[in-house]
Amino acid sequence: MKKYYIGCDLGGTNLRAGLVNIESGEISNLTSVDTLAREGHDAVMVRMVELFRHVLDATGIGIDQLGGIGIGVPGVLDLEKGETLFLPNLPGTWPHVPLRDTISQVMGVPVALLNDARSITYGEWRFGAGRGVDTMACFTLGTGVGGGLVINNRLHLNLGGTAGELGHQTIEPNGLMCGCGNRGCLEAYASASALTTLAFKAVTQGLTTIIGKMVDYDLNQINPKLVYQAALQGDEIAIGIFKEIGYRLGLAIGNIIVSVGPRKVVIAGGVAKAGEFILEPIRQTLKERVYVTRMDEVEIVQAQLGNNSGVMGVAMYTAETAG
């Protein structure tokens, strides 16, 4: 097995890639460029190749030393065919784009695709907050809610790689409409978008909160980071919003704990930066609702690797599957 692999995070705004030492997780020359997704998938793939070649040139690693390239993709994939099927946050949604084979043919090395949340999951299990356990669940809290499972030391990718979509379990029958088409998904209640909506409603309803004043009542500027800043200042409405998000997450995490039995549950993504404002209500909800599992053996923890987990995880996955 070759030692070095490129990990890439395909985002709606940015492409990020770096050379990953799969033994240590160390990333060399992590570089970010604009995705410019509006130009179409062919143009984005050309930009990817340019980025990969830049990473190799900057690190002095020859193509003969490269074991492969892993690409974390924000959407639904056909892992067997190496195609993107539906990327909701990229223009055109990329139906049946042969991303794996296109990049592999141009670069001359094996390429693997993996859902971005599963990439984060694998990175945190291998190098971050999930190290040392055989079974782990990860919830990624961003614009939506993603997730992933490692079960008995293996990334769980059943049903074409769709297994592990933890954000799309139903927690509220006949609840809010989710972008996936279902009602009552966790994503509709615990994403960054859901958090922002709760804060927006609090201000427009005239509740006693500093959130509106912090943005001079320009409600378009309300975001999770602002709500977190308000919570740090002791704003009860802001703290209550995180409690609500944590409660919803607790319901979903409880389902996973009693069905899968993870030793650790890792909370990742931008919303997770709220730390104990969100972790404490998760733990409280679990205490109130989970009785058939030894909860003293389950840890609820914040992710450790930040934005690097996906790059690490998809590189590791590539080393194990495409090398």
- Segment 234-244, tens digit of pLDDT: 999 999 999 99
Residues of the chain above pLDDT 70, percent: 99
- 8 contacts 48 by C-beta, under 8 angstroms: yes
* 250 within domain boundaries: yes
Parallel, antiparallel or unpaired: strands 299-302 and 264-268: parallel
**pLDDT confidence band for 111 (50 / 70 / 90):** very high
CATH number at residue 86: 3.30.420.40
Name which of 80, 20, 74, 70 is nearest 48 in CA terms: 70
* 109 within domain boundaries: yes
Name which of 176, 144, 150 is nearest 163 in CA terms: 150
The Cα 322–Cα 131 span in angstroms is 23
The Cα 122–Cα 147 span in angstroms is 10
C-alpha to C-alpha distances, 188 to 132, 146, 171, 251, 283, nearest whole angstrom: 32, 12, 10, 13, 21
152 shares its domain with 278: yes
Q: Which residues of 133-169 are buried (b: 16+ CB within 10 A; e: fewer)?
A: bebbbbbbbbbbbbbbbbbeeebbbeeebebbbbbbb
146 shares its domain with 274: yes
What is the per-residue DSSP string for 170-200? BSSTT-SBPTTS-BSBTHHHHSHHHHHHHHH
* 81 within domain boundaries: yes
Name which of 145, 148, 185, 142 is nearest 164 in CA terms: 148
Parallel, antiparallel or unpaired: strands 264-268 and 136-141: parallel
Q: For the chain, what is the domain count? A: 2
The Cα 93–Cα 123 span in angstroms is 26
181 shares its domain with 271: yes
Containing H/E element for 130?
none
pLDDT in tens, 214-252: 999 999 999 999 999 999 999 999 999 999 999 999 999
Q: What pLDDT, on a 0 to 100 scale, did the predictor assign at position 173?
A: 94
* 93 within domain boundaries: yes
22 shares its domain with 86: yes
300 shares its domain with 313: no
- 99 contacts 46 by C-beta, under 8 angstroms: no
Q: What pLDDT, on a 0 to 100 scale, did the predictor assign at position 161?
A: 82
Edge to edge, the sheet with strand 4-10 lists: 27-34, 14-21, 4-10, 66-73, 111-115
Secondary structure (3-state) at 9: strand
174 shares its domain with 261: yes
Q: What pLDDT, on a 0 to 100 scale, did the predictor assign at position 5?
A: 95
* 198 within domain boundaries: yes
Q: What pLDDT, on a 0 to 100 scale, did the predictor assign at position 323?
A: 57
Cα 195 off chain centre by: 17
83 shares its domain with 195: no
Compute the chain's Rg from CA coordinates: 20
Query: 92 lies in which domain range?
Result: 4-122+308-321
218 shares its domain with 266: yes
293 shares its domain with 146: yes
* 127 within domain boundaries: no
76 shares its domain with 202: no
Q: What pLDDT, on a 0 to 100 scale, did the predictor assign at position 226?
A: 96
283 shares its domain with 162: yes
Q: What pLDDT, on a 0 to 100 scale, did the predictor assign at position 38?
A: 93
The Cα 218–Cα 149 span in angstroms is 40
Mean pLDDT, residues 290-296 taken together: 92
- 240 contacts 227 by C-beta, under 8 angstroms: no
Mean pLDDT of the chain: 94
Q: What pLDDT, on a 0 to 100 scale, did the predictor assign at position 33?
A: 94
Q: What pLDDT, on a 0 to 100 scale, did the predictor assign at position 2?
A: 57
Whether pLDDT at 40 is above 90: yes
Q: What pLDDT, on a 0 to 100 scale, did the predictor assign at position 1?
A: 46
226 shares its domain with 100: no
pLDDT in tens, 155-200: 999 888 888 999 999 999 999 998 888 999 999 999 999 999 999 9
Containing H/E element for 140?
strand 136-141
Residue whose entry in the numeric block shows the structure tokens 């793939």: 45
Residues of the chain above pLDDT 90, percent: 84
Mean pLDDT, residues 280-285 taken together: 97
